[in-house]
Structure 1
Amino acid sequence: MILMRLMFLRQQGISQVTKKLQAMVVQFVSMDRMF
């Protein structure tokens, strides 16, 4: 049960990191288009 919970937390952390990276990429692209 503890292992399952750790895996779930790990998946959540990875998804949060990917969302942050996607947001950074979107911001970078929009900035690049402005110039």
Structure 2
Amino acid sequence: MVSYINHNPLYKNLQMRNWFLCKLKLTKIKDELSVG
């Protein structure tokens, strides 16, 4: 079951998107901190 999830491209795309959004949020927070 776990290996199936790992090899599922849709699931991988979702993971990448979540990671990207998280990184984007962190960058935004950093920018706001440096500006403030």
CA RMSD, aligned part only? 1.5
Unaligned runs of 5+ in 2: none
Structure 1 runs not aligned, ≥5 long: none
- Given the two structures, how large is their TM-score scaled by the length of structure 2? 0.75
Q: Which has the higher contact order (CA 8 A, sep 6+)?
A: 2
Query: Number of residue pairs matched?
Result: 31
Q: Which runs of structure 1 show a deviation greater than 4 angstroms over 4 or more consecutive aligned residues? A: none
Q: Provide the TM-score with structure 1 as the length reference.
A: 0.77
